[in-house]
A and B are shown apart, each in its own frame.
Chain A
Amino acid sequence: MALLEINNLGISFGGLRAVDAFNLKIEKGQLYGLIGPNGAGKTTAFNLLTGVYKPSQGRVLLDGEDITGKSVIEINRTGVARTFQNIRLFHELPVLDNVKVGLHNQMEYSTLAGILRLPKYRKVEKEMNQKAMELLKVFDLDGDAETLAGNLPYGKQRKLEIARALATNPKLLLLDEPAAGMNPNETKELMDTIRFIRDEFDMTILLIEHDMKLVGGICEELTVLSFGQILAQGETSAVLKDPKVITAYLGE
């Protein structure tokens, strides 16, 4: 059984079919790319998967469980975590706390226990601090644990967003243009990190990207969207050679 199975997913905004007849199958542990020109509906597809928009048709199955039309929170709890195209961090919180917000639903103590600092609070906080620090270490952010997230340099902010998403313990990780705004060196480093996450956490990753080098370098399979429709789908090297795809990207 595939980890993520999307059947005939679609949504319209006032008559415009932003995403139409979208089908996708991702196996566990796969690194999958979603590409397409600007306005092709990639981010909309992410928003459908994560519950930001309710699809007007189709079904989404995560690990066999139907998550179609569920709320953002429910979908996250079922095991989908994401990053955003325009970075969305908790700017006024330290880096460590950003990750600890991601661990929120794994911390089992009540508000009252927190206010009264009961032993349970101390125990859970200690465990979670460790867990958060371990995650930060993966992204080489452990040295910045106290820094406010808003004060991090851009590249590190992108990484922190991934760390925070991973903290929610997802089955599927969605990355929305993780390399946007990065220089070639940073992109290369990011590619290594993404591969590392997949191997280390046995994670399934679906990413949206414009950087063809990154997509070609790490994705095993691709889906190309254009005007909300699937243009091509399949193995990376084959898709990138597809004349239809080249036309869509470069024009006639």
Chain B
Amino acid sequence: MNMIKSMSKTTKNNAITYAMVIIAFAVVQTMVMTGNITSLMNGLLVPLCTYVILAISLNLTVGILGELSLGHAGFMCVGAFSSSIFSQLTVDVITTGWMRFSLAIILGAIMAGLFGFLVGIPVLRLKGDYLAIVTLAFGEIVKNVINAIYVGIDEAGVHFSLQDVTSLGLSETGLVLIKGPRGITGTPKDSTFVIGVILIIITLIVILNLMNSRTGRAIMSIRDNRIAAESVGINITKYKLLAFAISAALAGVAGALYAHNLSTLTALPKNFGYNMSIMILVFVVLGGIGNIRGSIIAAVVLTLIPELLRSLNDYRMLMYAIVLIVTMICTWSPKIKELRERYSLQNWIQKKKHAKEVV
């Protein structure tokens, strides 16, 4: 009996999360169809989906595996550039838009997942803050390398250069893929809000189902107590790597979505750098570590707040900073905690109930 109850509890919780996404989608889609949406908001829809996927996937590393990652944008960057190159190369070959885009997304996920696996190897030897710094370093390396290299392709094969386009030495029919700091131009604009939402749902299915499987439990047991997990036969290495790679692969999906929404894709600090990684981490932390629904809400709200505050343009990032600090202090300061406990309604009711039970 209890078992059924406990199962239905998680299932119910997950159902609320799915329902929330679908309802939000329905509302926004209706607004789009009836033209009741500003062009600013309309342009924000795909990035919003990207951020939601990033936040959910980072929560797998931070909340479920319990390791701090400051390089999530790096994996996104890998997914964005690899999928974008794929689309450029195949735009004349695969003419069915959705099929090409699906393949591009899968490729982005695989490439990012592969990088996640590779970065994951040192991760196994490191703990806590050292891990954070390695992921941060990785993110910066990816951004930096993409900004520095020129890649082109012609019949002779792939050409690389660190100087400029001409030094690639391409033949006349050659195609320049990455133009250093000017990035990739001409990626087909395949991303739509609908696809974004579908990808969010797929991400949710992967993460939520994973959490309720033996793999997810193994990952969470490592988070809660590594030594105990090992003592009951959990292969720490395997599950850490797996969690890391899945998280990275999903960030790659987000990257593919992001890349196919832009005509020019550049690896600027603001979209793929450490600032972006931090922003995603902020979504996860403010949404509640390990709380998937919270990540979604935080990603949406915290992306919209600065946009809605555009009239206060100069002050919006400042307010964002203050919100971060105040939220953290209000959540964790012992003094404020005490105040909250004393005056919270829920506690008051519980205390009464408890008093009755004792009597």
Contacts and interface: CB of A to CB of B under 8 A. Distances in A.
Contacts of A76: 230-233
Contacts of B225: 88-91
A152 to B, nearest CB: 14
A164 B6 contact: no
B213 A133 contact: no
Interface string B205-235: 1100110111111101101110111111111
A183 interface: no
A91 B228 CA distance: 11
Interface stretch (A56-64, A77-85, A225-233): A77-85
A132 B73 CA distance: 40
Interface string B1-31: 0110111010000000000000000000000
B3 A72 contact: no
A111 B215 contact: yes
A109 B210 CA distance: 12
B232 A102 contact: yes
Interface residues of B, number: 33
A15 interface: no
Given A91-B224, A143-B2, A145-B6, A114 B215 contact: yes
Given A101-B221, A104-B214, A133-B3, A111 B242 contact: yes
B113 interface: no
Contact of A72 (B216, B217, B231, B290): B231
Interface in A88-109: 88-94, 96-97, 100-102, 104-105, 107, 109
Contacts of B215: 111, 114
Of the candidates B206, B214, B216, the one having the most CB atoms from chain A within 10 angstroms of its own CB is B214
A95 B230 CA distance: 18
A149 B232 CA distance: 16
A114 B224 contact: no
B223 A101 contact: no
B2 A142 contact: yes
A73 interface: yes
Nearest to A121: B213
B6 A92 contact: no
A146 interface: yes
Given A115-B205, A115-B210, A90 B6 contact: no
A212 interface: no
Contacts of A23: none
A133 B218 CA distance: 19
Contacts, number: 107
A105 B9 CA distance: 25
A18 B203 CA distance: 51
A89 B206 CA distance: 26
B75 to A, nearest CB: 19
A1 interface: no
A100 B7 CA distance: 13
Given A84-B228, A91-B225, A93-B220, A104 B233 contact: yes
A104 B242 contact: no
A116 interface: yes
A167 B230 CA distance: 14
B210 A114 contact: yes
A146 B234 contact: no
A162 to B, nearest CB: 12
Given A97-B217, A114-B209, A145 B232 contact: no
A107 B214 contact: yes
Contact of A73 (B6, B234, B290): B234
Contact of B2 (A84, A115, A125, A145): A145
Contacts of A52: 227
A117 B209 contact: yes
Contacts of A94: 6
A143 to B, nearest CB: 7
Contacts of B7: 129
A92 B217 contact: no
A77 B230 CA distance: 11
Nearest to A95: B6
Of the candidates A93, A102, A111, the one having the most CB atoms from chain B within 10 angstroms of its own CB is A111
A115 B215 CA distance: 9
Interface string A134-149: 0000000011011000
A96 B213 CA distance: 13
Contact of B233 (A77, A100, A133): A77
Contacts of B227: 52, 84, 88
B209 A116 contact: yes
A223 interface: no
B3 A145 contact: yes
Given A93-B217, A104-B217, A115-B210, A167 B6 contact: no
The 10 A-B pairs with the shortest beta carbon distances in the complex, nearest first, are A114-B213, A90-B224, A88-B228, A76-B233, A146-B6, A101-B221, A111-B215, A107-B214, A72-B230, A88-B225
8 contacts: A81-B231, A92-B290, A93-B220, A115-B213, A121-B213, A133-B2, A143-B2, A146-B5
